[in-house]
Amino acid sequence: MAAAVPEQEQTPWEIWIKDFFLTWINRFSFFLAHHLTRPILPLYLVSFGASSTVIGAVMAVFTITATATRIPVGLLIDRIGRKPFLIAGVALFAVGNFGYLWAPGILLMLPFRMLHGVGWSGCTTAVATLAADIAPPKRRGELIGYAAMASSLGGAIGPVAGFALLQRFDFSGVFFGAAALLFVSLILAAFVKEPEHGPRNNHRQRWIDLLVIPETLLPAVAVAFLSFGHGGILTFLPIHALKLGLENPGLWFGLYALCLLLSRPVAGPLSDRISRRAVIIPGLILNLLGIGILALAASPAWLMAAAVVGGFGTGAAQPALMTVAVDQTSPQRRGQSMAQYQCFYDLGIGLGSLTLGAFLDLVDQNFSLMYAATAVVALIGLWIYWKRS
């Protein structure tokens, strides 16, 4: 594993804590908007008569678009700056959100799904890079974990609130609720202060350097195997949960995200004091166990048990993997490194959503077999990181 890139200490905490908190609130706002609509969209597509294959494909359009734009966005973030892409990303996200409501059919939703993906690529890459810029190196694992708590808290509240809005105001209430949150995020983005991080990365690079940062490729590949299962779970668990008698599937996502949230204050400092690997490996193992419980689940209680185990596992592994990617790249290429990491994360979700949707149709909607296939993929990812790290 490559040595960490040396970096000067940041400004005193009285200065950086304000910027870090403002970035945290901004991140929370658009992640909450995302998780408000994310578990509702498969049910929205069902209302149009979509099959599992079509649902998986439509959901995958978002992640494939985000994946395809991550690397160019990361390069431009390093050259132009973080803040413009944060603002533009949230704005495009908002346009895509309204498009779902206005589109009269599944086919016409696809352009808005693509706009959502481009916007998501911009705002999430920019805000992750800002958090890494602001965090002092000696507390990086801890603070990246705290920054990721904004995502987890949005994931905890969003699905529960989304299903509550659905039950009271139908689908339009969900989309308008997300739009209000995106408006808040857009306003906050205007006040985010981008820290200085040396000269822009404007020098000529080899074409391969524009596509890959080799020293941070391992954590990116590992997170792709981790997120593959998330693609299937995020897309099809609401349908599976309803079949097992869980009236509000948002409760599952809320508990899962709450466990993510609770794991961060413990896992982050441990990764700073012991090692990143000491947190990543147990986290990947817990994620695998959570998927295994889903494969065996026959009641809502077992679903919730899987949410607890998988939530703690992902909550430990995911930010620690991101911290490895930050540790081993310079501030001038940090945007590209974050883009590469999140590109692989998106790629895992997109492939999981697409292939597991087709697999479900192939096995006649047998969710246990789908989760078993997901567990095999997670096991391969665990083995690769174990051997290579």
- Let me know: does 53 contact 106? Beta carbons within 8 Å: no
pLDDT of residue 32: 92
Q: Are the C-beta atoms of 284 and 226 separated by less than 8 Å?
A: yes
Q: What is the pLDDT of residue 130?
A: 82
Structure tokens at 14: 């009285």
* 188: three-class secondary structure by DSSP: helix
- Measured between alpha carbons, how far is 8 from 137 in angstroms, rounded to an integer? 8
- What pLDDT, on a 0 to 100 scale, did the predictor assign at position 8? 43
**CA–CA dist 267, 278 (Å, integer):** 9
pLDDT at 383: 93
Q: What is the dihedral of CA 11, 15, 16, 21, to 10 degrees?
A: 180
Task: Return the pLDDT at 292.
Answer: 92
pTM of the complete model: 0.69
pLDDT of residue 367: 86
pLDDT of residue 11: 46
Candidates 3.40.50.970, 3.40.50.2020, 1.20.1250.20, 1.10.357.10; correct CATH number of 13-195+209-388?
A: 1.20.1250.20
For 243, the token pair is 């079949």
Helical pair 83-102 and 13-37, crossing angle rounded to 10 deg:
20
In this prediction, residue 291 carries a pLDDT of 92
Backbone angles phi, psi at 245, to 5 degrees: 100, 10
Residue with tokens 């294959």: 53
The set of residues, in sequence order, having a beta carbon less than 8 Å from that of 203 and lying 6+ positions away, is: none
pLDDT of 331: 67
CB-CB contact of 174 with 39 (8 Å): no
Report the pLDDT value the prediction gives residue 143, as an integer from 0 to 100.
Answer: 74
**Backbone Cα Rg of the chain:** 20
Using an 8 Å Cβ cutoff, are 183 and 175 in contact?
no
Q: Which residues of 301-337 are buried (b: 16+ CB within 10 A; e: fewer)?
A: eebbbbbbbbbbbbbbbbbbbbbbbbbbbbbbbbbbb
Place of tokens 């896992």: 267
First-to-last CA distance in the chain? 6
Question: For residues 177 and 226, what is the distance between their CA atoms, to the nearest angstrom?
Answer: 30
Give 200: exposed, middle or buried? Use CB within 10 Å, 0-12, 13-18, 19+: exposed
Q: Which of 119, 36, 49 is nearest to 85 (CA)?
A: 119
Q: Which segments of the chain have a pLDDT < 50? A: 1-13, 207-208
Percentages helix, strand, coil for the chain, rounded to the nearest 5?
85, 0, 15
Q: Give dist(CA 300, CA 113) in Å, integer.
A: 31
Question: In degrees to the nearest 10, what's the CA dihedral of 279, 283, 284, 290?
Answer: 170
Which amino acid is present at 370? M
Q: Is 49 left (phi over 0), alpha (psi -120 to 50) or beta?
A: left
